[in-house]
Structure 1
Amino acid sequence: MSTKLNLVFLVAFALVIPTLLADIGLFDEVWKKRAEEARQVALDAFTPDPEEVTENFNAQVTKVIEGTNTTRRHLKKYKGKCLATNPIDRCWRCKKNWANNRKQLAKCVLGFGKKTTGGAAGRIYVVTDASDKNVENPRPGTLRHAVIQKEPLWIIFARSMVIRLSKELLVASHKTIDGRGANVHVSFGAGITLQFVQNVIITNLHIHDIVATDGGTIRDSVNHIGFRTTADGDGISVFGSSNIWLDHLSMSNCQDGLIDVIQGSTGITISNSHFTHHNDVMLFGASDSFQGDSIMQVTVAFNHFGKGLVQRMPRCRWGFVHVVNNDYTHWLMYAIGGSSHPTIISQGNRFIAPPNPAAKEVTKRDYASEAEWKKWTWRSEGDLMMNGAFFVQSGNSRGRRPRGKSNMIKAKPGSFVRRLTRFSGTLECVPKKPC
Structure 2
Amino acid sequence: MQPYGDVDSTLRAIAGRAEGFGRHAIGGLHGALYLVTSLSDDGPGSLREGCRRQEPLWIVFEVSGTIHLSSYLSVSSNKTVDGRGQRVKLTGKGLRLKECENIIICNLEFEGGRGHDVDGIQIKPNSRNIWIDRCSLRDYDDGLIDITRQSTDITVSRCYFAQHDKTMLIGADPTHVGDRCIRVTIHHCFFDGTNQRQPRLRFGKVHLYNNYTRNWKVYAICASVEAQIYSQCNIYEAGDKKKAYEFYTEKAADKEEAKSGIIISEGDMLLNGAQPCLLTEYKESVFHPSEYYSTWTMEPATHSLREVIQLCTGWQSLCRPVDNMVMN
TM-score by length of 2: 0.88
User: Structure 1 CA distance, aligned partners of 2:321 and 2:26?
Assistant: 23
The equivalent of 1:154 in structure 2 is 58
The equivalent of 1:388 in structure 2 is 273
The equivalent of 2:102 in structure 1 is 199
Letter in 2 for 1:302: H
- Does residue 305 of structure 2 align to residue 417 of structure 1? yes
Q: RMSD value over aligned CA atoms?
A: 2.3
The equivalent of 1:367 in structure 2 is 249
Change in CA separation of 1:338 and 1:292 when aligned onto 2, cut-off 3 Å: same
- Residues 302 and 417 of structure 1 are in contact (CA less than 8 Å); yes or no, is this contact kept in structure 2? no
- Residues 150 and 182 of structure 2 are in contact (CA less than 8 Å); yes or no, is this contact kept in structure 1? yes
The equivalent of 1:293 in structure 2 is 179
User: Structure 1 CA distance, aligned partners of 2:226 and 2:165?
Assistant: 23
- Residues 325 and 348 of structure 1 are in contact (CA less than 8 Å); yes or no, is this contact kept in structure 2? yes
1:260: Cα distance to partner?
0.2
- Does residue 145 of structure 2 align to residue 259 of structure 1? yes
The equivalent of 1:182 in structure 2 is 86
Where in structure 1 are there 5+ consecutive unaligned residues? 1-64, 66-85, 133-137, 213-230
User: Structure 1 CA distance, aligned partners of 2:117 and 2:283?
Assistant: 39
The equivalent of 1:113 in structure 2 is 22
Change in CA separation of 1:368 and 1:286 when aligned onto 2, cut-off 3 Å: closer
From the two aligned structures, give the one with the greater helix fraction.
1
- Residues 104 and 131 of structure 2 are in contact (CA less than 8 Å); yes or no, is this contact kept in structure 1? yes
Change in CA separation of 1:203 and 1:409 when aligned onto 2, cut-off 3 Å: closer
From the two aligned structures, give the one with the greater strand fraction.
2
Select 1:273's aligned residue among 159, 163, 167.
159
Change in CA separation of 1:118 and 1:431 when aligned onto 2, cut-off 3 Å: closer
Name the SS for the 2:15 alignment partner: helix
Aligned ranges 1:229-268 → 2 under 5 Å: 232-240=117-125, 241-268=127-154
Deviations 1:51-96 (A, max 9, x none): xxxxxxxxxxxxxx3xxxxxxxxxxxxxxxxxxxx112x1324xxx
Letter in 2 for 1:276: A
Deviations 1:102-148 (A, max 9, x none): 1111142110000000001101100001112xxxxx41200110001
Select 1:209's aligned residue among 103, 112, 129.
112
User: Structure 1 CA distance, aligned partners of 2:236 and 2:301?
Assistant: 8
User: Structure 2 CA distance, aligned partners of 1:344 and 1:172?
Assistant: 29
The equivalent of 1:172 in structure 2 is 76
Letter in 2 for 1:120: L
Letter in 1 for 2:300: P
Deviations 1:361-418 (A, max 9, x none): 101122359x9757x431000000011102324252233457x99xx99953211532
Aligned ranges 1:266-415 → 2 under 5 Å: 266-307=152-193, 309-354=194-239, 356=240, 359-368=241-250, 376-394=261-279, 396-400=282-286, 411-415=298-302
User: Structure 2 CA distance, aligned partners of 1:339 and 1:201?
Assistant: 28
User: Structure 1 CA distance, aligned partners of 2:87 and 2:96?
Assistant: 21
Change in CA separation of 1:409 and 1:178 when aligned onto 2, cut-off 3 Å: closer
1:233: Cα distance to partner?
1.4
User: Structure 1 CA distance, aligned partners of 2:68 and 2:150?
Assistant: 29
User: Structure 1 CA distance, aligned partners of 2:321 and 2:146?
Assistant: 35
Letter in 2 for 1:340: V
User: Structure 2 CA distance, aligned partners of 1:393 and 1:202?
Assistant: 36
Name the SS for the 2:130 alignment partner: strand
- Residues 311 and 332 of structure 1 are in contact (CA less than 8 Å); yes or no, is this contact kept in structure 2? yes
User: Structure 2 CA distance, aligned partners of 1:252 and 1:158?
Assistant: 24
- Residues 326 and 417 of structure 1 are in contact (CA less than 8 Å); yes or no, is this contact kept in structure 2? no
Aligned length: 309
- Residues 348 and 384 of structure 1 are in contact (CA less than 8 Å); yes or no, is this contact kept in structure 2? yes
The equivalent of 2:325 in structure 1 is none
The equivalent of 2:315 in structure 1 is 426
Name the SS for the 2:282 alignment partner: coil
Deviations 1:232-261 (A, max 9, x none): 211110002101100000110001100000
User: Structure 2 CA distance, aligned partners of 1:432 and 1:274?
Assistant: 22
Name the SS for the 2:13 alignment partner: helix
Letter in 2 for 1:87: P
Change in CA separation of 1:192 and 1:425 when aligned onto 2, cut-off 3 Å: same
Letter in 1 for 2:12: K
